[in-house]
Amino acid sequence: MGAPRTHEVARGTLPAMSTSQPTLAVLVDELTRALGKSSVLARPEELIAYEYDATIERARPDIVVFPASTDDVATVLRLARKHGVPVVPRGSGTGLAGGAVPVQGGVLCVLTRMNRILEIDVRNRTATIEPGVINLQLQEAVATHGLTYAPDPSSQRVCTIGGNVATNAGGPHTLVHGSTVNHVLGMRVVLPDGRATFLGSRVPDAPGLDLRGLFVGSEGTLGIATEIVVRLVPRAEAVRTLLAIFASIEDASNAVTRVIASGVIPVALEMLDREIIRAVQHSRDVGYPEDAGAVLLVEVEGLRETVEQQSAQVIEALRAAGALDLRIASEAAERERLWEGRKSAIGAIGALAPNFYLLDGVVPRTRLPEVMRGVEELSARYGFRCGNVFHAGDGNLHPNVMFDSMEPGATERVLALGAEILRLCIEAGGAITGEHGVGLEKRSYMEWMFGADDLEAMSRIRLAFDEAGLFNPCKVLPSGHGCASAHSAELTHHLATPGVYV
Amino acid sequence: MPARGTLVTATSDLEGVLAALPRARHRETSAYPIEGRFPSVALRPESPDGVARVLAAARDARAAVVPQGARTALTLGRPVSRYDVALDTTGLHRIVEYEPADMTVTVEAGVTLHALQARLAEEGQYLSVDPPPGDEVTIGGLLATARAGAWRGLLPGVRDLVLGITVATPEGTLVSSGGRVVKNVTGYDLHRLHTGALGSLGVIVSASFKVAPLPEATAMLALRCPDIQLAERAAFELRDRRLPLRALSLLDASTATTVGVETRAPATTVLAAFEGVPAVVARAERESRDVARRMRAAIEAVPPFTWSALRRRAALAGSEEQTVLVRLGVPPSRVASTLAAVGSGRLEAWAHVAAGCVYVRGASLTAATLLALQADAHAAGGFLQVEHAPAELRDIGDAGDLELTRTLKATFDPEGVLNPGRWGDDA
Ligand SMILES: Cc1cc2nc3c(=O)[nH]c(=O)nc-3n(C[C@@H](O)[C@H](O)[C@@H](O)COP(=O)(O)OP(=O)(O)OC[C@H]3O[C@@H](n4cnc5c(N)ncnc54)[C@H](O)[C@@H]3O)c2cc1C
Ligand SMILES: Cc1cc2nc3c(=O)[nH]c(=O)nc-3n(C[C@H](O)[C@H](O)[C@H](O)COP(=O)(O)OP(=O)(O)OC[C@H]3O[C@@H](n4cnc5c(N)ncnc54)[C@H](O)[C@@H]3O)c2cc1C
The DSSP string of B255-280 is: HHHHTT----TT-EEEEEEEEESHHH
**Closest residue by Cα to residue A98 from A485, A463, A439:** A439
- The partner residue sitting opposite B176, judged by closest CB among A395, A437, A454, is A454
Q: Could you give the CA distance from residue A468 to residue B225 in angstroms, rounded to a whole number? A: 59
A166 and A134, same domain (yes or no): yes
Distance CA A445, CA A421 (A): 12
pLDDT of residue B76: 87
Chain B residue with Cα closest to A432: B186
Chain A CA closest to residue B396: A207
Give me the residues of chain B with pLDDT under 70, please. 1-12, 318-319, 344, 427
Domain boundary among A333, A348, A363: A348
> Per CATH, the architecture of B93-213 is what?
2-Layer Sandwich (3.30)
Please give the Cα distance from A108 to A125 (Å, whole number). 33
Task: List the domain range (segments joined by +) for residue A361.
Answer: 349-496
Rg (CA), chain B: 22
| Chain B residue with the nearest C-alpha to that of A462 | B188
Instruction: Please judge whether A208 and B180 are an interchain contact, meaning their C-beta atoms are less than 8 angstroms apart.
Output: no
Query: Which residues lie closer than 8 Å to A29 by C-beta, 6 or more apart?
Result: none
Q: Is residue A10 part of a domain?
A: no
CATH number at residue A47: 3.30.43.10
> Of the given ranges (A177-181, A495-499, B257-261), which has the lowest mean pLDDT?
A495-499
Find the CB nearest B331 among A203, A217, A476: A203
| Residues 375-404, chain B, touching A (beta carbon < 8 A) | 380-383, 385, 397-404
The DSSP secondary-structure symbol of A92 reads S
Length of chain B: 427
CA distance A103 to A58: 8
CB contact under 8 A, A209 and B404: yes
Ligand nearest to the CA of B89: 1
Residue in B closest to A146 by C-alpha: B240
Average pLDDT for A310-317: 96
Indicate whether A67 belongs to any domain: yes
**Does residue A311 sit at the B interface (CB-CB below 8 Å)?**
no
CATH number at residue A266: 3.30.70.2190
Contact B20, B168 (CB under 8 A): no
- C-alpha to C-alpha distance for B231 and B222, rounded to whole angstroms: 11
Which chain B residues are Cβ-neighbours of A453 within 8 angstroms? Answer: 169, 173-175
Is-same-fold flag (B11-90+406-412; B217-307)? no
Q: Is residue A11 part of a domain?
A: no
Classify burial at B291, counting beta carbons within 10 Å of its beta carbon; exposed 0-12, middle 13-18, buried 19 or more. buried
Mean pLDDT, residues A373-393 taken together: 95
pLDDT confidence of residue B392: 86
**Residue B316: its pLDDT value, please?**
86
- The angle formed by the CA atoms of residues A211, A215 and A218, to the nearest 5 degrees, is 145
Task: Show me where the domains of chain B are located.
Answer: 11-90+406-412, 93-213, 217-307, 313-389
In a domain, A4, yes or no: no
pLDDT in tens, A391-409: 999 999 999 999 988 999 9
Report B:127-156 residues touching A (Cβ under 8 A). Answer: 146, 148, 152-153, 156
**Higher local confidence (pLDDT), B193 or A18:** B193
Q: What is the complex's ipTM, to 2 decimals?
A: 0.95
pLDDT at A495 over 70: no
B236-242: Cβ within 8 A, 24+ apart: B236/A123, B236/B332, B236/B353, B237/B291, B237/B295, B238/B270, B238/B272, B238/B287, B238/B288, B238/B291, B239/B353, B239/B354, B240/A234, B241/B287, B241/B291, B242/A234, B242/A236, B242/A237, B242/A303
The model's pLDDT over B341-400, given as tens digits with 9 standing for 90+, comes to 997 678 999 999 999 999 999 988 999 999 999 999 999 999 999 999 988 898 899 999
Q: What is the DSSP string of A389-433?
A: EEBGGGTEE-EEEEE-TTSTTHHHHHHHHHHHHHHHHHHTT-BS-
What type of residue sits at position A121? D
3-class DSSP assignment, residue A64: strand
Instruction: Look at residue A467 and tell me whether its pLDDT is greater than 50.
Output: yes
Q: What DSSP string runs through A325-385?
A: EEEEE-SHHHHHHHHHHHHHHHHHHHTT-SEEEE--EE--GGGHHHHHHHHHHHHHHHT-E
Pocket of ligand 2 (CB under 6 A): A 3-4, 53-54, 88-96, 99-100, 111, 131, 153-155, 159-160, 162-164, 166-167, 169-171, 219-220, 224-225, 346, 435-436, 472, 499-501
Taking Cα atoms as reference points, which of B68, B140, B72, B118 lies closest to residue B312?
Answer: B72
Nearest CB neighbour to B355, from listed A167, A203, A458: A203
Domain presence at residue A289: yes
| Chain A CB contacts of B357 below 8 Å | 203, 205
Which ranges in B3-124 belong to alpha helices (H)? 15-19, 48-60, 113-121
What are the counts of helices (DSSP H) followed by strands (DSSP E) for chain A? 16, 20
Task: Please name the residues in contact with B123: beta carbons below 8 A apart, sequence gap of 6 or more.
Answer: B98, B100
Minimal Cα–Cα distance from A201 to chain B, Å?
Answer: 6
Which contiguous run of DSSP H or E holds residue A143?
A: helix A135-143
Radius of gyration over every alpha carbon of chain A, rounded to an integer in angstroms: 23
Q: Where is the domain boundary, A78, A110, A142?
A: A110
- Rounded distance from Cα A498 to ligand 2 centre (Å): 15
CATH number where A478 lies: 3.30.70.2740
- Whose atoms come closest to the Cα of A475: which ligand? 2
Average pLDDT over residues A33-43: 97
B185 contacts chain A (CB < 8 A): yes
Same domain, yes or no: A455 and A363: yes
Ligand 1 atom nearest to B77, measured from its CA:
49
Name the CATH topology of B313-389: Alpha-Beta Plaits (3.30.70)
Clarify whether residues A75 and A127 are in a common domain: no
pLDDT over 50 (residue A11): no
A237 has a chain B CB within 8 A of its CB: yes
The rounded distance, in Å, linking the Cα atoms of A213 and A381 is: 41
SS3 A471: strand
| Range A30-34 average pLDDT | 98
- Measure in Å the smallest separation between the Cα of B355 and chain A Cα atoms: 6
CB B145 within 8 A of CB B131: yes
Identity of the residue in A204, A214, A257 whose CB atom sits nearest the CB atom of B101: A257
Same domain for A368 and A481, yes or no, is: yes
The span from the CA of A458 to the CA of A456, in Å, is 5
pLDDT band at A17 (very low <50, low <70, confident <90, very high): low
Fold of B217-307: Alpha-Beta Plaits (3.30.70)
Q: Whose CA is nearest to atom 17 of ligand 1?
A: B73
% of chain A residues with pLDDT over 90 = 77
In sign, the C-alpha dihedral spanning B168, B174, B177, B178 is positive
Determine the distance in angstroms separating the CA of B44 from the nearest CA of chain A, rounded to an integer. 24
What is the residue with the minimal CA distance to atom 21 of ligand 1? B142
pLDDT band at A57, cuts 50/70/90? confident
Residues 6+ apart with CB under 8 A from A427: none
